[in-house]
Structure 1
Amino acid sequence: MFMERNAMLRAAADFLSRRPNATRSEIAKAIGVSPATFHRHFTGRDELLRGLEDRAAELMLAAIVDAHLEEGDCASAVHRLVAAAQDVAPYLALMYTQSQVSDPDTTHPAWDEIDQAITGLFVRGKRSGEFTSELSASWLADAFYGLMASAEWAVQSGRAARRDFTRMVTGMVLSGAHARR
Structure 2
Amino acid sequence: MPTIWEYAELIAAGDTGRWQAATRRAAILLAPTHPVLDLPHGMPVHQVLVQTTALIVHGLGRLPGRIVTARELAAWVADHAVPPDPDLAGPRSLAPAATSDRDRHMREIVRAVRRQQEGLAGLLRAAGHQVPDPGTRSLDRHSADPVVRQWHDLADVDESSPFPLLCLGVAAMADTFGPAII
* Same fold per superposition (TM over 0.5): no
Q: Which structure dedicates a bigger proportion of its chain to helix?
A: 1
Higher relative contact order (CA 8 A, sep 6+): 2
TM-score between the two structures when normalised by the length of structure 1: 0.29
